[in-house]
């Protein structure tokens, strides 16, 4: 009996070692493929705390979902179909536990309130489970197939890491091109004088280091500065957009999602947005909500001429009620029907 107990203990130990070596390692690498890029994006769009939370989410996914399910599949002794179905049932509470633990790291709470919401969350469970089950099948497919799986997982992670570094190095940051004196003379323009409500012609506009140095009659201009010929176009004061969210990585609300634009926005300190504003004549913006640390740092970098962009007025983080208008119990006229103790 003592020998049998030792054999069972040895078999269990070897089995767990096998799972850790053959299953857990590729699971870490495969789930971590997006981590270098996501880690960089979180750091660029927020602060170090946001980047560290990515690692926490990664650990929750690996050790509270992939590892327990993988261990169950390897230890289950029944028919493969029973293993498949039972493994999925085991995965459900683990899936929701992982969500419940992960949501607070994102500043949210996991609390579905209706069968419809539970259905939405549950709809993703087969996909997540089949990824785990697929890796289990590859590892159980023999030593050669397991080694190939490990190698491919390591290769995928390495490509992701190197690709993120290369992408970050090549992305356009939209910076000032020179620290030296920059001068330009705008000629042949119709100058819109907003305070006087009139249009002036025959005047040249001398600009030095990004600021208007002088507006003088064309026949008195002896600057010999590099010129921009407006060819009769209108020269107007810079426009101000008073409601923007600079850190929204999309071209427009009505435009479709573009992954390339998304990456260029996050990794390039929102260079596409800054460029678009200036090229459209918008020289000042009022940002009404976004990651506070990054928008304030971005404002400083623009003011110090480290980055090109419109002048930024920012409120910082979004401040809003935790409840919707329906949850506030508002009547048809928008008045509260009862007090909420949370306020």
Q: What is the DSSP string of 153-193?
A: HHHHHHHHHHHHHHHHHHS---B-S-SS--EEEEES-EEEE
Domain contains 334: no
pLDDT at 13 over 50: no
Whether residue 24 is found in the same domain as residue 151:
yes
Parallel, antiparallel, or unpaired for β 227-229 and 183-187?
A: parallel
pLDDT at 326 over 70: no
Per-residue pLDDT, 332: 46
Domain contains 324: no
pLDDT at 115 over 90: no
Per-residue pLDDT, 267: 81
Collect all residues with Cβ–Cβ distance below 8 Å to 312 and sequence separation of at least 6: 246, 284, 285, 287, 295, 298, 299, 302
Whether residue 151 is found in the same domain as residue 296:
no
Domain contains 129: yes
The pLDDT confidence band at residue 321, using thresholds 50, 70 and 90, is low
**CATH code for the domain of 210:** 2.30.40.10
Sign for the CA dihedral angle at 44, 46, 47, 51 comes to: negative
Collect all residues with Cβ–Cβ distance below 8 Å to 19 and sequence separation of at least 6: 67, 70, 71, 74
Whether residue 10 is found in the same domain as residue 154:
yes
Domain contains 166: yes
Whether residue 25 is found in the same domain as residue 103:
yes
Per-residue pLDDT, 249: 74
26: nearest Cα among 141, 124, 156, 127: 156
Domain that holds residue 199: 183-235
Domain contains 177: no
Whether residue 200 is found in the same domain as residue 252:
no
Whether residue 157 is found in the same domain as residue 304:
no
Helix (H, G, I), strand (E, B) or coil at 217: strand
Q: Model pTM?
A: 0.62
Domain contains 145: yes
Whether residue 252 is found in the same domain as residue 114:
no
Q: Is 9 exposed, middle or buried, given 0-12, 13-18 or 19+ CB atoms closer than 10 A?
A: exposed
Whether residue 210 is found in the same domain as residue 104:
no
Looking at the 3D structure of the chain, how many domains does it have? Answer: 3
Torsion from C-alpha of 98, 99, 101, 105, nearest 10 degrees: 130
Whether residue 138 is found in the same domain as residue 230:
no
pLDDT at 336 over 70: no
pLDDT at 340 over 50: no
Stretch 184-209: mean pLDDT, rounded? 91
pLDDT at 290 over 90: no
Q: Which of 126-130, 184-188, 220-224 has the lowest average pLDDT?
A: 220-224
285: nearest Cα among 277, 295, 294: 277
Q: Which of 92-106, 231-245, 262-276, 309-323 has the lowest average pLDDT?
A: 309-323
pLDDT at 328 over 50: no
């Amino acid at each position: 009996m003592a020998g049998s107990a030792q054999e069972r203990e040895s078999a269990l130990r070897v089995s767990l070692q096998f799972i850790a070596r053959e299953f857990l390692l590729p699971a870490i690498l495969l789930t971590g493929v997006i981590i270098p890029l996501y880690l960089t994006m979180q750091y660029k769009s927020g602060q170090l705390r946001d980047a560290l939370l990515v690692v926490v989410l990664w650990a929750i996914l690996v050790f509270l979902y992939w590892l327990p399910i993988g261990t169950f599949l390897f230890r289950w002794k029944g028919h493969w179909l029973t293993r498949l179905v039972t493994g999925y049932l085991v995965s459900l509470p683990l899936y929701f536990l992982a969500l419940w633990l992960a949501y607070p790291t994102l500043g949210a709470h996991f609390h579905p309130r209706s069968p419809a919401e539970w259905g939405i969350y549950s709809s993703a469970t087969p996909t997540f489970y089949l990824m785990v089950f697929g890796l289990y099948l590859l590892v159980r497919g023999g030593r050669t197939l397991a080694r190939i799986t490990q190698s491919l997982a390591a290769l995928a992670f390495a490509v992701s890491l190197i690709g993120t570094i290369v992408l970050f190095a090549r992305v356009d940051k939209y910076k000032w091109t020179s620290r030296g004196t920059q001068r330009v003379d705008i000629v042949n323009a119709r100058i819109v004088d907003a305070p006087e409500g009139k249009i002036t012609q025959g005047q040249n506009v001398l600009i030095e280091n990004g600021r208007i140095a002088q507006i003088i009659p064309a026949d008195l201009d002896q600057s010999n500065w590099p010129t921009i010929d407006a060819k009769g176009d209108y020269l107007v004061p810079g426009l101000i957009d008073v409601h923007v969210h600079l850190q929204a990585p999309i071209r427009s609300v009505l435009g479709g999602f573009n992954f390339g634009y998304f990456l260029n926005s996050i990794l390039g300190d929102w260079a596409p947005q800054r460029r678009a504003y200036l090229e459209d004549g918008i020289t000042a913006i009022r940002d009404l909500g976004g990651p506070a640390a990054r928008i304030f740092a971005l404002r400083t970098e623009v003011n110090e001429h480290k980055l090109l962009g419109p002048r930024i007025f920012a409120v910082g983080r979004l401040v809003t009620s935790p409840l919707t208008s329906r949850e506030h119990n508002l009547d048809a006229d928008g008045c509260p029907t009862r007090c909420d103790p949370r306020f």
